[in-house]
A and B are shown apart, each in its own frame.
Chain A
Amino acid sequence: MKKLFIFLAAAFLCFMLIAPANAASKDTFVKATYGTVRTIDPATAYDVSSGMKLYNIYERLVAFDGASTENFIPELAVEVPTVANGGISKDGKNYRFKIKKGIKFHNGATLTPEDVEYSFERGMIMDQAGGPQWMILEALTGKGGTRDGDDKVIDGIFEKIMAAVDVDGDDVVFHLPVPYPPLMGIIQYTSSSIINKKWAIANKCWDGKLATAAKYNNPDFNKEPLLKIANGTGPYTLKEWIPSNQFVFERFEGYWGKTPYFKNAIVKYVPEWTTRKLMLQNGDADVVDLDSMYVEEVEAMEGITVYKIPQLSYSAAIFCQKINPAGNPDIGSGKLDGNGIPPNFFSDIHVRKAFSHSIDWKAMKEDVGMGLIDLPGSPNCIGLPYYKEIPLYSFDAKKAEAEMKQAFGGEVWEKGFKMTITHNTGNALREAAANMMAENIMALNPKFQIEIRNVAWKDYTVKYRQFAYPVFIIGWGADYPDPHNFLYTFMHSNGVYGKYSGFKNAEVDALCDAGIQNVEPEKRRAAYSKLQDLWHELAVGNTVYQQTVVKPFRSDIKGFVGNPMFDDDHEYLKNLYRE
């Protein structure tokens, strides 16, 4: 009996040793990531993690042409409209898109111009708080949202939305109140994905009628009807999604374009870097999320091709000036009593400046970013039009101390404070910046206490919109390559980060509006130049980095084309193949 047991144990061990590890199946593409997804409703998703899923499941009228950020190719449109081909009116206020025929959705329905009209109108009518619809709303209605500053629906906005997009035979026509240069960039973005009208209505989406529009405006987070289901015309269908675990694509056999190489694609949630690295090394992952500090490790590995793509993106530490105190564990007592901070702690410019003086830029760039990051002084990052070199706040403990001593009339220095800085789980660069700020501020005065907390991405994007975090480190990748997309977002009182940092400045708002409403380059330059100066003067937020994304692919994976617009979560799966 004992001998039999030993034999069986030995045989079992031999099998385990001989059987190869889980080498990726040839027709399955595997990505290991630390990003999690909250929603795949294209009308409300607004982050890079969901972006990769939406770019592959849905399609839009146009797409960027390879690595270009200026040239477009048609996707569901027959051609890219221009003034020359008559697609854009001479006054720049009407865009006409001829829609391709015979294209099927994943459920078998055929694409119609009505689907296109519905998709845009539905998105704008939903206009979830902090969502992506502000861009197309601004272009098509002249308003950056469907609600005013008090969250009340603007009179007549739904009528404007319904009038802005029309079907004319096989064409869809967009009517703009004024010319809007970045429109084409917005139309290629995931929020402009085309969905099937009939299917959407059957799944409890807006019914397409003006009378009911208000009911569907600003839906609750995680209550969107298309939160976890999808039906696009894209090359891949959603096969399975287990939140915080994995997302599985399956090739759409009825795809109108060239049949993609990979039958399946899996995006796995692997928050631990060592595990991701070993998966890449063993071929169990074809590409992994990689932070700058680990690039050297990967470059030393065999069989890996590393792509370095300078990004039109900007990450910053955002100081929330009106923190929501209700049940908020991140502000301690909620008072300036040494055990917490008041909700308006960061409304004092001296506090913001002290924090801005606390990042060691040299260490950030060389030791953390491994020379693969830039440090622009404002959100109008390197590579964008009207970029201006803005100085960073010097890393200087004495200056930080001097600022803290002035904050709240000296009370901050005298009483001390306790708070939390947050960053998204797995992002090592942001974690390093958070630690650096915390350590350097705490070193000023033993009464200063700062904790660091990481939060999964899908929850992080919800919580900052509840004004929950005193300081949150977050990035912005270009939706379209224009300063408006960055400066409005970070600084305007209705911009995504401007709004949720509680920052409001009439001059800044007016300059943001002037920047987009003017078509004359010199006037735009003047507005954006002043805005960049104000970012620094007012210490609205603090630069963390502008990243060069490094994408390590297994060398047998071909077809990847980097684009400065696309962050580390974007892969056009249909372009990839295994050699």
Chain B
Amino acid sequence: MATFITRRLILLIFVMFGVSLLIFGLMMTFSPERRAMAFVSTPQMAKDIPLLIKKYGFDQPFYAQYYTWIKEVSHLNLGYSLVASRSVMEAFLYYFPITLELNLYAAPCIILFGIWMGTIAGTKPNSFFDHFSRIFSIIGWSLPTFLFALVLIMIFYGYFSLFPPGVLSDELTMFVRNSDDFVRYTHLYTIDGILNGRLDITLNAFKYLFLPVLTETIVICALLMRVMRSGMLEEMSKDYIITAKAKGADKKTIYLKHARRNALIPVITIAGQLVAMLMEGSIAVEIIFNRQGIGWWMASSATQLDMPVLMSMCLVMAVIFVLSNLVVDLIYAYIDPRIRLS
């Protein structure tokens, strides 16, 4: 196992090298003037584009420019974000916990709910529950996230005055940011609340998380549910299941221990990718529920051509995808002992 992990982590270096080459190569398709504009923050500087090109070496050969860029990146100097009015690294450390906290709860809900519904639907095909879950998945998957988020916020917040948008109540936000007694260990309110013995903060943060988590769960779990259902249907028709049934084995053991384990392999593959995608932040959820996280930041950066942010985030997302694939491989081995990691 240790060898496998080490090997994958070494592989990560090569993947990152490839990704960095790709990102840098794409950036090189812009003219030196366009790239120099990323460093212009004043009208005065706009007049000095040739000087900027020279200063940052945009007239140098590809390999020289790549070396300069990668050296800065390796020192975590990712540039300045105009959108966030601070360095990219600082901005990332500010926005990422907001996205992470949402996904910390959304991801398990999506996976567990998807697997649970898919299992039941697959074991009881053409039952009421199966039809219900299929309709549910079609609606969930085809409904645009922004529309579903708007519907939820209008019903729960607009009509019932429950679950407001934001991250934490104003009163508690001011307390958390200004109190010396509250230590922000993780920058995740739900966890820091517990660690500081302030359950009111944890519960308040959950109140703000409820609708965003619900939106993501319903919209995204549909895919997992469909894959799980078809996997279960396939497994249920295999000989070993028929044999087990013929031998009078307990149905629960057949479904949950034998069939579900085998059906889980494709689900885990998709779940790994979904979790990695969630970490990029959901633009619609973050905008409508006013949780300014990575998704909001990246969307704003894209519309405002904040190049340092877009390049840095591509790198970060590559790391997240590689690591999520590694975790998926480890789970494969746990679920299916036939898969040998070594």
B41 and A220 contact, CB distance less than 8 A: yes
Q: Given known contacts A30-B170, A266-B170, is B46 in contact with A326 (CB within 8 Å)?
A: yes
**Is A20 close to B, CB under 8 A?**
yes
Residues 100-134 of chain A: 1 if any B CB is under 8 Å from the residue's CB, otherwise 0? 00000000000000000000000000000110000
Residues 152-169 of chain B: 1 if any A CB is under 8 Å from the residue's CB, otherwise 0? 011001100111111001
**Is A505 close to B, CB under 8 A?**
no
Which residues of the other chain, B, contact A389 by a CB distance below 8 angstroms? none
The docked-state distance in angstroms from the alpha carbon of A16 to that of B162 is 8
**Is B309 close to A, CB under 8 A?**
no
**Is B260 close to A, CB under 8 A?**
no
Which residues of the other chain, A, contact B161 by a CB distance below 8 angstroms? 20-21, 282
In the complex, the chain B residue whose C-beta lies closest to that of A221 is B42
Which residues of the other chain, A, contact B44 by a CB distance below 8 angstroms? 129, 218, 220
**Is B31 close to A, CB under 8 A?**
yes
Q: Given known contacts A271-B287, A327-B31, A462-B41, is B157 in contact with A245 (CB within 8 Å)?
A: no
Partner of B85, one of A222, A270, A279, A425: A222
Report how many residues on chain A are interfacial, defined by Cβ distance under 8 Å. 59
Which residues of the other chain, B, contact A272 by a CB distance below 8 angstroms? 287-288, 290
Q: Which of B32-40, B222-230, B269-277, B323-331 participates in binding chain A?
A: B32-40
**Is B248 close to A, CB under 8 A?**
no
Q: How many A-B residue pairs have CB under 8 A?
A: 140
**Is B332 close to A, CB under 8 A?**
no
The docked-state distance in angstroms from the alpha carbon of A329 to that of B35 is 11
Residues 16-27 of chain A: 1 if any B CB is under 8 Å from the residue's CB, otherwise 0? 110111101100
**Is B315 close to A, CB under 8 A?**
no
**Is B256 close to A, CB under 8 A?**
no
Q: Given known contacts A221-B43, A328-B37, is B83 in contact with A456 (CB within 8 Å)?
A: yes
CB contacts under 8 Å to B, within A447-468, are 453-456, 458-459, 462, 465-468
A275 and B169 contact, CB distance less than 8 A: no
Which residues of the other chain, A, contact B42 by a CB distance below 8 angstroms? 129, 220-223, 462, 466
Residues 273-300 of chain B: 1 if any A CB is under 8 Å from the residue's CB, otherwise 0? 0000000000000011110100000001
Q: Say what secondary structure dominates the interface of chain B.
A: helix
Q: Which of B5-13, B17-25, B113-121, B203-211 participates in binding chain A?
A: B203-211
- Closest approach, in angstroms, between the C-beta of B176 and any C-beta of chain A? 11
Q: Given known contacts A275-B290, A465-B43, A467-B46, is B84 in contact with A243 (CB within 8 Å)?
A: yes
B170 and A25 contact, CB distance less than 8 A: yes
B303 and A453 contact, CB distance less than 8 A: yes
CB contacts under 8 Å to A, within B48-104, are 49, 82-86, 94
Residues 213-224 of chain B: 1 if any A CB is under 8 Å from the residue's CB, otherwise 0? 000000000000
Which residues of the other chain, B, contact A456 by a CB distance below 8 angstroms? 83, 300, 304
What are 8 A-to-B residue pairs whose CB atoms are below 8 Å? Answer: A28-B171, A129-B44, A244-B292, A274-B150, A324-B46, A327-B40, A327-B49, A425-B303
CB contacts under 8 Å to A, within B310-341, are none
- Closest approach, in angstroms, between the C-beta of B142 and any C-beta of chain A? 21
CB contacts under 8 Å to B, within A273-328, are 274-275, 278-279, 281-282, 284, 324-328
The docked-state distance in angstroms from the alpha carbon of A325 to that of B44 is 15
Partner of B33, one of A129, A244, A326: A326
A222 and B165 contact, CB distance less than 8 A: no
**Is A264 close to B, CB under 8 A?**
yes
Partner of B203, one of A19, A223, A466: A19
- Closest approach, in angstroms, between the C-beta of B98 and any C-beta of chain A? 10
**Is B30 close to A, CB under 8 A?**
yes
Which residues of the other chain, A, contact B194 by a CB distance below 8 angstroms? none
A130 and B203 contact, CB distance less than 8 A: no
Known pairs A16-B163, A223-B42, A328-B34. 14 more at Cβ < 8 A?
Answer: A22-B164, A221-B42, A243-B84, A243-B85, A243-B86, A270-B290, A272-B287, A272-B290, A275-B289, A278-B154, A282-B158, A328-B37, A459-B83, A462-B42
CB contacts under 8 Å to B, within A227-281, are 239-240, 242-245, 248, 264, 266, 268-272, 274-275, 278-279, 281
CB contacts under 8 Å to A, within B116-152, are 150
The docked-state distance in angstroms from the alpha carbon of A245 to that of B46 is 28
Q: Given known contacts A326-B37, A465-B43, is B164 in contact with A274 (CB within 8 Å)?
A: no
The docked-state distance in angstroms from the alpha carbon of A255 to that of B43 is 38
The docked-state distance in angstroms from the alpha carbon of A268 to that of B86 is 19
Question: What's the interface size class on B, roughly?
Answer: 35 or more
**Is B2 close to A, CB under 8 A?**
no
In the complex, the chain A residue whose C-beta lies closest to that of B165 is A275
A327 and B290 contact, CB distance less than 8 A: no
In the complex, the chain B residue whose C-beta lies closest to that of A39 is B85
B166 and A22 contact, CB distance less than 8 A: yes
The docked-state distance in angstroms from the alpha carbon of A284 to that of B171 is 12
> Which residue, of A24, A129, A275, A468, has the highest number of chain B Cβ atoms within 10 A?
A275
Which residues of the other chain, B, contact A329 by a CB distance below 8 angstroms? 34, 305
- Closest approach, in angstroms, between the C-beta of B110 and any C-beta of chain A? 16
**Is B174 close to A, CB under 8 A?**
yes
In the complex, the chain B residue whose C-beta lies closest to that of A18 is B162
In the complex, the chain B residue whose C-beta lies closest to that of A20 is B161
Residues 56-81 of chain A: 1 if any B CB is under 8 Å from the residue's CB, otherwise 0? 00000000000000000000000000
In the complex, the chain B residue whose C-beta lies closest to that of A129 is B43
Which residues of the other chain, B, contact A459 by a CB distance below 8 angstroms? 82-83, 304
Partner of B164, one of A17, A239, A269, A279: A279
The docked-state distance in angstroms from the alpha carbon of A334 to that of B161 is 52
A264 and B37 contact, CB distance less than 8 A: no
B303 and A244 contact, CB distance less than 8 A: no
A327 and B304 contact, CB distance less than 8 A: no
Q: Given known contacts A220-B45, A245-B292, A326-B49, is B86 in contact with A19 (CB within 8 Å)?
A: no
Which residues of the other chain, A, contact B153 by a CB distance below 8 angstroms? 274-275, 278
Partner of B41, one of A17, A222, A243, A244: A222
B34 and A455 contact, CB distance less than 8 A: no
Which residues of the other chain, B, contact A458 by a CB distance below 8 angstroms? 85
Partner of B30, one of A218, A274, A327: A327
